[in-house]
Structure 1
Amino acid sequence: MKITLLGTGCPSVHTARYGAATLVEAGGARLLVDCGSGVTQRLAAAGVPGRDLDAVLLTHLHSDHVIDLYQLVVSAWHQGRPRPQRIFGPPGTRAFVDGTMALWAEERTLRIAHERRPSTAALEVEVTEITPGETLRFGDTSVTVVPVDHQPVRHAYGFVFAAGSFRAALSGDTRFCPALIETARGADLLVHEVFVHHAMPVVPGVRTAGTVAAVAAYHTLSAEVGKVAAAAGVGALALTHFVPPEVDRAALLAEIRADYAGPILVGEDLMAIDLAAGSVSWNGAVIGLGGLPARL
């Protein structure tokens, strides 16, 4: 099982942290979780273009998690994808996808007529709305749908992936969530969002104290994420969806280390975690990750 952090950012635009997206390669399946801004470029850089995906899983329908879904569909067509794109997400996904495809219908009609590509199968989408507790199967990989707490968003999910002897949990966007802790218990890896509250000051004309409090209220604070990992007893913790995108890494690690003794990764775009090899690769370097035994 290999987890690649494609986009570790948030709605705030950042040149190093693209929009929310994670690639899971396991059990013969290639699964994309979320379609934040820049996801098609990150997929190409990771060596798994949209043409080759087996499914897209959406955690929820906030714009920073779905904004590049149409770009994914069209770029996969340009890459010669021979089959429809399969999209799984919470209630509301079908209406969102239908609306998005309708918005661009004229553009597609013109392209199809003018470009005369051999197939239009990639421009078809198959949408499945999923429910909490459901288990999906892709090849030899199972995906458990976990209800997380991102209120006022009514339907928000995390996912737990299992293939062979490996398990990895992705939090999606959530405040401290006991359901996630329980379902992720004992996983080899937890990929979790983080809100670094002390790095997000009030800025006149941009955000008030009320804004900061409101954003903090539906995310997991940096003072809490280590507690989540410890309570779940996971083998390693990788941080993603940084709010704000620029943080003091040393201070963040120290804060989390107070609660969690396992390996901690301050996630970066295109960081790849190979659970079978017990290794992490990023920016040309490969290191061993203690706590993830090499079970080849």
Structure 2
Amino acid sequence: MRNLLKLIGVLISLLVVAVGLVNVPAVQDKLLDRAVTRQLLNSPTDLFEDDAMRVVICGSAAPMPVRERASACVMVIAGGKFYMVDTGNRSTNNLGLWAIPFSRTGGVFLTHFHSDHIGDLGEFNMMTWAQGRPAPLNVYGPQGVTEVVEGFAKAYGQDSGYRTAHHGPILLNPARGKMIPREILLEGDSAIAMDDGDLKVTMFSVNHAPIHPAVGYRFDYKGRSVVISGDTIKVDNMIKYSQDADLLVHEALAMHIVQQMQATAGGLGNERIESILSDIQDYHASPADAAVVANEANVKELVLYHLVPTPPNSIAEKVFMRGVSDIRASGVTLGYDGLTYTLPLNSTAIIQEDMNNR
């Protein structure tokens, strides 16, 4: 007992000394320098090695209010560059927290022009330009993408001018800060949006009526593949263009939860929310719908994103996924911000990790 009391006394003394040192400016500066150094050296450059195709969920939420998640955004890494499929609100903040090297920016692909899919386009353009993007930003999308790009360029025009004036045109070359719209016209139900020889991106139509156009994208890189649905109901085109894909990133709206929310809103006399909750059910796919698509397309792994409503805890997650296991017993994951997949080349492996734990 005496030895234990001595040990406790020593630990308390050390704690008192440590607390005192933290209040010393020189110690504070040393700790700050160490933290800054760690942050600057922590860029995950290994993600860009040409040994795999990689996919990161940068935004898993939908427009409903939610903490700690960005709106719809998926990053695809291939050939030493990263490509964004949609730039939902707060998604650029996630990239910054993960120290993604913005000099590796390849481009943006927009699925449609709802605010929760385009809200961060201006921020993404500004941040990647400010942190070393070597060329203008290519923004691919269906008809209407030119109007979206020009609108953001106008809104951020004064900001861009301020930054060049402050930092100088050598550091912030205004020509590199521009966005270039790449409007892709669908030929039938699909079109090649980009093809650099190794990476081919196919745009295909989906059904998010009355929103039109609405598209999904398939990325094929050296034998590995990922498909991102954007917003859609269950539609044959999703099955067609997801065929034999390694990974399908599919949106999901839990009808049973939304219907319960709708009934509650009606019971409380909130007719506006009741009406909105009723309306959104006819242009989204359920988790079960997504599972059927994955099965019929022979997809190896399914991850759900754009979660409506986003489940805040493990119990809500179980409710959200109710019935999915009856359709697809394995190979399905409920997405979250930071969920990362590595698809090694010359392999069928699919490796999952959490970007937040790097």
TM-score (norm 1): 0.90
**Which sections of structure 2, spanning at least 5 residues, go unmatched?**
1-52
Q: What code does the residue aligned with 2:184 have?
A: I
CA-CA distance at 1:121 after TM superposition: 3.1
Aligned twin of 2:227: 169
CA distance in 1, matches of 2:226, 2:355: 23
Of 79, 85, 103 in structure 2, the residue corresponding to residue 27 of structure 1 is 79
Alignment of 1:195 with 2:263, yes or no, is: no
Cα distance, 1:198 vs structure 2: 2.0
1:131 paired residue number: 185
* CA distance in 2: counterparts of 1:56 and 1:278, whole angstroms: 24
C-alpha spacing 1:50/1:155, structure 2 compared with 1 (3 Å):
farther
Q: Are the aligned partners of 1:29 and 1:140 in contact in 2 as well (CA < 8 Å)?
A: no
Counterpart-to-counterpart distance in 1, 2:354 and 2:200: 27
Q: 2: CA distance between counterparts of 1:121 and 1:206?
A: 49
Aligned to 1:155: 213
| Aligned residues of 2:149 and 2:180 also touching (Cα < 8 A) | no
For the 8 Å contact 1:59–1:158, the answer to whether it is kept is: yes
**104, 121, 124: which is aligned to 1:69?**
121
Q: CA contact under 8 A between 2:245 and 2:298: conserved in structure 1?
A: yes
Q: Is contact 1:172-1:193 (8 Å) kept?
A: yes
CA contact (8 A) 2:257 2:320 kept: no
Unaligned residue ranges in structure 1 (runs of 5+): 287-296
Name which of 58, 71, 91 aligns with 2:143.
91
Amino acid at match of 2:333: L
Residue 208 of structure 1, CA deviation:
4.3
The answer on whether the counterparts of 1:91 and 1:129 sit within 8 Å (CA) in structure 2 is yes
In the aligned structure 1, how far is the partner of 2:289 from the partner of 2:150? Answer: 38
Contact 2:232 2:251 (C-alpha < 8 Å) held by counterparts: yes
* Counterpart residue type for residue 88 of structure 2: G
Query: Relative to structure 1, is the Cα distance of residues 48 and 131 closer, same or farther in structure 2, using a 3 angstrom cutoff?
Result: farther
Within the candidate set 122, 125, 139, 2:176 is matched to 122
**Contact 1:81–1:121 (CA<8 Å) still a contact in 2?**
no
* Bigger radius of gyration: 2
Q: CA deviation at 1:107?
A: 2.7
- RMSD (CA atoms): 2.0
Give the fraction of aligned pairs with identical amino acids, expressed as a percent.
29
Provide the rounded CA distance (Å) in 2 between the counterparts of 1:259 and 1:27. 35
Q: How many residues align?
A: 286
| 2:327 matched residue in structure 1 | 259
CA gap 1:258/1:76 in 2 versus in 1, 3 angstroms: same
TM-score by length of 2: 0.75
Partner of 1:291: none
For 1:137, the aligned partner's letter is: D
The alignment status of 1:36 with 2:93, answered yes or no, reads no
CA distance in 2, matches of 1:206, 1:115: 51
Q: Cα distance 1:49–1:285, how it changes in 2: closer, same or farther (>3 A)?
A: closer
Shift of 1:209: 4.0
Does 1:219 pair with 2:284? yes
Q: Is the 8 A contact 1:144 1:160 kept in 2?
A: yes
- Spell out, residue by residue over 1:67-95, the C-alpha distance to the aligned partner (whole angstroms, 9 max, x if none): 11111111122212221111101111101
Q: Structure 2: which amino acid aligns with 1:123? A: G
Shift of 1:17: 1.8
Provide, for residues 47-76 of structure 1, a one-character-per-residue CA deviation record: whole Å limited to 9, x for no partner: 424432111100111100001111111112
